[in-house]
Structure 1
Amino acid sequence: MRIVIIGAGAIGAACALELAEAGAEVIVLDRVGVAGETSSRCEGNILVSDKAPGPEALLAIEANRAWRALAERLDADRVAGQPATEFEAKGGIVVAFAGGAEALETFAAAQRGIGITSEVLDAAALRAAEPHLADDIACGVHYPDDAQVQPSLATQAMLARARYLGADYRVTEVIGGIVDGSRVRGVQTTDSRIEADAVVNCAGPWAGEAAALFGAALDIRPRRGTILVTAPMPQRVFHKVYDADYVGAVGSGDASLQTSTVVESTPGGTVLIGSSRERVGFSEAGTLVPLAEIAAKATRLFPFLRDTMLLRTYFGFRPYAPDHVPAIGPDAQIAGLFHAAGHEGAGIGLAPTTAALISHAILGTAAPLDPAPFLPARASLQGVAA
């Protein structure tokens, strides 16, 4: 079976690897390059701590397990041109200032009800885990299963392994869908016509535009996020640490700017500081305000950051679904067209299980969990709203 994948970000690379391992003929197309957009402009989160009970939380739990096995397998037997994933099972700590402790503990208790492991830390345990935190933190909850990869390298690793298994990869832009009646027959690129039995739309924030090339509707929108990177330093942040406001920002549908604090060290000694969310289309203007807000909140959480030099800042666009659940599976109307998009900032973490669901939908392989909640046919994704 010949399958074309549109997009060589983390979701596209994971789908390519899963489908190639299942024996399909895979062609990956991207107009920029591997991890050229969203997947190189994020933090590489593999989180369960930020997921409220519901379908996405169950997807995250399964994906967290899948990433551990996948990273170990990729890193243990690297092929030519395949980088290490830099997988770190560092765990996460979510903190709250005065007034937020009760809500955080209640949220963690609800998560434990669906199998997410967490532990409320007393003051001594919190200080032992993160000695450089601000003194006025009122509460901390430890999530041992939170992890991280270097997102660009992990994406490259997955696609390199897929290519080793026979997948084809081309830098070209898809400019049209080839549809016979209501069935996909392939894609038209700037270079050529490519026939296919199935097409998987992994175009991230551009997934709605990609769907439209086939006459399909998929309401996926860009949501901009900004990140700061410090100069390398001796390690002073030992987990992925973020304030409880981050959970609310992740689940919000508000288009206006929202910022919260996420701080973590990298193997190279830099510290990544996020995060912001705002729906401004694909605008690249006006990033100073979110960066200033992030910096102010981060220095409240970790006071030592006030005297730290910034190395750079960057921003990216994340694929936002209005109901906060990714679209994974067959298109509502066009046979042979499949979607894997709408993960927003969780695409890296959810990639391997998303790929398993796509393989299930196309090839009939075993599904890692119930695919029904993620189907693109749901009403919330079928009419693009303002």
Structure 2
Amino acid sequence: MAEQVVVIGAGIDGAAVGVELARRGARVTVVDSGPPAAGTSGATFSWTNSNGKQPRAYHELSIGGMRAHRRLAGEVAGSDWYHEGGNLEWGDDETEREQLRRKVDSVLEYGYEARWLTRAEVLRLEPDINPAELPAEGIAYFPSEGWVEPARLIGHLLSTVDIERCWHDAVTGIDVAGGRVRSVRLASARRLPADAVVNCAGPAAAQVAALAGLELPMNNTRGVLIYTSPVAVSVARVVHAPRVHLRPDGGGRLLLHTHELDDAADGATVDEAAVEKVVEAGCALYPGIRAASVESVRVGVRPIPADGLPVLGRARELPNFHFAVSHSGATLSLHAGALVAAEVLGEDRSEELAPFRFERF
């Protein structure tokens, strides 16, 4: 059993892995170059779903993640980070509608809950939507989906166990000898002995892997999110409309996004016209949003392994170096984190983790 484990990254994956390791008896140090939740976890749509995820193993892993969120939220009195309000989606033209029909058919084959709603049924769920923006029928509803507030979840997780925290101290080196990781070096000149290391570094996962002599192919992308000021508009669930995606974000704020908005980012700068276009689409969908202002626009980096699937578990050539890297961290974190932690501590999780091994690259 690995007694001393260094977890690199204090986002939602690192917190989940670190907490599970500590609960299982390991001594854990979580390291991050900044504060917890300051990276991708602080700028994410954080939609919990298994909506059209392929292959089947990825779908099932995501289902496990959704169940883990539901279970934890049910166990913790006053939990306020998990919201299972469902997800609405519809298309704008026949091509989009056909794509949505195929997606619904595919998830129904897997036993995933989905159903078709009419405009009148959607208005009973979301009474502040502009009816003119809705088709008369053909609106897909995925009732088990929702979203998490990552910073709140990370704060809860880190508060439940005794772990050593090294914030604002970047990893600068990983010492390997005899085919195993021996220690982790930090910018502060500290050296952390390690029986095992877990790479939860998100967008920086490839750089961390390289420090251990491993090549992890990543296709990271930028993600742009618009946060409104508090507004008296009733939005209770995730909504994927043709020209805007949105959800509540606590305190009466709303979170808006589109994939086109992501393309409008140049580093940390986002084209103002693109932001205005998304806000206008949000106002058309929910007219009450016109009373709000744009409070902030955040640019995050999405960690996406080269084939789009998570990278989980140990590396064969360096068996005490482990990965927990995924584009779907908000959905997967609790479940995948538990699987990775169990393997770090010697349990056989080959069946669940086989499709997501580093060696597939």
Q: TM over 0.5: same fold? A: yes
1:370 is the counterpart of 2:355:
no
How many residue pairs match? The answer is: 352
Counterpart of 2:298? 314
Percent of aligned positions that are identical: 27
Distance 1:143 1:58 in 2: 16
- The residue number in structure 1 matching 2:279 is 295
Please state how far the C-alpha of 1:309 moved relative to its aligned partner: 2.1
Q: CA RMSD in A?
A: 2.4
* Distance change in 2, residues 1:316/1:101 (3 Å): same
Matched, 1:205 2:188: no
Tell me how far apart the structure 2 counterparts of residues 47 and 272 of structure 1 sit (CA, whole Å). 17
**141 and 280 in structure 1: CA distance in 2 versus 1, 3 angstrom threshold:** closer
> How far did 1:50 drift?
5.2
Quick one: distance in 2 between partners of 1:227 and 1:50? Answer: 23
Superposed CA offset, 1:64-106 (max 9, x none): 0011112233x328xxxxxx54221111111222423333122
Shift of 1:292: 4.0
Matched, 1:156 2:158: no
Match of 2:254 among 257, 271, 279: 271
Report how far residue 333 of structure 1 moved: 2.3
Alpha-carbon contact 2:229-2:293 (below 8 Å) kept: yes
Q: Secondary structure at the match of 2:299?
A: strand
Which of 17, 27, 30 is the equivalent residue of 1:28? 30
**SS in structure 2 of the partner of residue 320 of structure 1:** coil
Q: CA deviation at 1:242?
A: 0.7
Does structure 1 residue 76 correspond to structure 2 residue 81? no
Alignment of 1:1-386 (within 5 A): 1-49=3-51, 51-52=53-54, 54-73=56-75, 75-76=76-77, 84-99=79-94, 100-131=96-127, 132-138=129-135, 139-161=138-160, 164=161, 166-171=162-167, 172-191=169-188, 192-243=190-241, 261-276=244-259, 278=262, 283-288=267-272, 290-306=274-290, 308-341=292-325, 343-344=326-327, 346-365=328-347, 367=349, 370-379=352-361
Match of 1:127, SS state, is: helix
* Cα shift readout 1:175-219 (whole Å, capped 9, x = no counterpart): 000100321112011231111110000000000001111111111
- What displacement does 1:312 show? 1.8
Shift of residue 116 of structure 1? 1.3
Pairwise CA distance, 1:61: 0.7
Q: Distance in 1 between matches of 2:249 and 2:98?
A: 31
Distance 1:197-1:152 versus aligned 2 partners, 3 A rule: same
Give me the whole-angstrom Cα distance separating, in 1, the residues matched to 2:130 and 2:349: 42
Structure 1 residue 21: deviation in Å? Answer: 1.1
- CA distance 1:102–1:300, shift in 2 (3 Å): farther
Unmatched 5+ stretches in structure 1: 78-83, 246-259, 380-386
TM-score, L = length of structure 1:
0.84
The answer to whether the 8 Å contact 2:27/2:163 transfers is yes
SS at match of 2:83: coil
Aligned structure 1 segments of 4 or more residues deviating by more than 4 angstroms: 277-282, 366-369
- Stretches of structure 2 that go unaligned for 5 or more consecutive residues are none
CA distance in 1, matches of 2:214, 2:7: 16
C-alpha separation in 2, matches of 1:288 and 1:208: 32
AA matched with 2:180? R
Contact 1:205–1:318 (Cα < 8 Å) also in 2 = yes
1:324 alignment partner, SS class: coil
**CA shift for structure 1 position 148:** 1.9
